[in-house]
Amino acid sequence: MRHHRVLRVISKLLIPFIMLFALYVQFHGDFGPGGGFQAGVIMASAFILYGLIFGLENARKVAPPGVITMLVAAGVLIYAGTGYAGLLKGGNFLDYNVLAATPVGGQHLGILIIEFGVGTTVAAAMITIFFLFAGRER
Amino acid sequence: MIIALIDIALLTFMGATAIAILRLRSLFAVVMLSGIYSLLAASMFVTLDAVDVAFTEAAVGAGISTVLMIAVLALTGERERTPSHTPLVPLIVVGLTGAALIYATFDMPAFGDANAPANLHVAPRYLNDSFGEVGLPNVVTSVLASYRGYDTLGEVTVIFTAAVAVMLLLGGRKGDDAGIKNEPEADAEANEGADADSDPKSGGGGTA
């Protein structure tokens, strides 16, 4: 793909907007369609587009596989950790009501955090799977 | 009326895409068409007012899985081998399963029926009380992240497990992230691949 100037220029233009849209979907999921899962996939597609156009080696420099692997686990830990935070604060597992001063405030905070965990795991998992498939040679 | 016309058009396109996928032997075209099929399915979910599902279908079905399929095509042949067996038995199995599924839909309540079991159980409570209890305008997010937070934790764990499984299958040792420097394994796989792939490769070369 190194010789396709149009593809390179257009994807350079598009990638920031794809990432911005992923963040919008992530944090606007409370109010409109979307959420962590969709946002994670969109965020991963930005990295995958970069890898397709600029080569796998450059994509690995942007998103080091070691860091991405840790992020796969970090998302699940963030999610489960929010559950345990509810336990420590005297509620049930994954009970967000006790996380803040008011129940509705706690729900807001809890949903924001667990959606972030979902997005992290999904994005990192998709990038990992793409790296592994694309990194194999015939 | 307009929605019905759109539904008919989408279903026609989906049927045409499925038949084209069946008849094509070029796997690259099949992957592209299955991406189109996913996009049509996503449009279908939009007309069913399931925008969250449509979003996921468009991003995963039309986006990521197409890319992964193309990455796999780069490792295997691009042409499907002509099947050696007769398609009669699979056709009967698929036909019977499809007939059973269509028969089962006769028991389902009509689309959007207010008296359907799904709309009588917990759905009214979610719709009436979720704004006071959770405070989010998007009830889907309230259900997924709060009322059914346990299930979503399970789903995230499934994705985590999938990534771990792919890492174990395709990844190499620590620090060898491409998984291609694992000499003994790579050699064995290369030999196996040469044996198994000799037919489609020669077939593809002949036609191309």
Q: How do residues A73-88 score in pLDDT, each as one tens digit?
A: 999 999 999 999 988 9
- Which chain B residues are closer than 8 Å to A103 by Cβ? 133
Q: Which long-range contacts (CB under 8 A, 24 or more apart) does B46-51 make?
A: B47/B3, B47/B6, B47/B7, B47/B10, B48/B111, B51/A33
pLDDT reported for residue A10: 93
Between CA B42 and CA A38 the distance in angstroms is 13
Between CA A114 and CA A37 the distance in angstroms is 11
Cβ contact A55:A1 at 8 Å: yes
Shortest CA gap B196–chain A (Å): 13
Q: Measure the N-to-C terminal CA separation of chain B; round to a whole number of Å.
A: 48
Is the model's pLDDT at A32 over the cut of 90? no
Task: Identify which has the larger pLDDT, B180 or B92.
Answer: B92
Name residue A2's amino acid: R
Name residue A117's amino acid: G
* Contacts of residue B145, Cβ cutoff 8 Å, sequence gap at least 6: A35, A110, A111, A114, A115, B152
pLDDT reported for residue B36: 95
Between CA A84 and CA A91 the distance in angstroms is 9
- Which chain B residues are closer than 8 Å to A130 by Cβ? 64, 67-68, 71
Name residue B143's amino acid: V
Q: Say if A87 is an interface residue toward chain B (CB within 8 Å).
A: no
Between CA B43 and CA B54 the distance in angstroms is 7
User: Which value, in Å, is the radius of gyration of the alpha carbons in chain A?
Assistant: 18
Tell me which residue range forms the domain holding A41.
5-135
* Structural domain total, chain A: 1
- Give the domain ranges of chain B: 1-80
Name residue A4's amino acid: H
Shortest CA gap A101–chain B (Å): 14
The H or E element containing residue B144 is none
Between CA B40 and CA B54 the distance in angstroms is 10
Count, in order, helices (H) and strands (E) of chain B: 10, 0
Is the model's pLDDT at B120 over the cut of 60? yes
- Which chain A residues are closer than 8 Å to B134 by Cβ? 104, 107, 111
pLDDT reported for residue B186: 44
pLDDT reported for residue B173: 52
Q: How do residues B163-202 score in pLDDT, each as one tens digit?
A: 999 999 887 654 444 444 444 444 444 444 444 444 444 4
- Which chain B residues are closer than 8 Å to A133 by Cβ? 68, 71-72, 75, 166, 170
Between CA B59 and CA B38 the distance in angstroms is 9
Cβ contact B71:A133 at 8 Å: yes
Q: Say if A136 is an interface residue toward chain B (CB within 8 Å).
A: yes
Instruction: Tell me the β-bridge partners of B79.
Output: B26
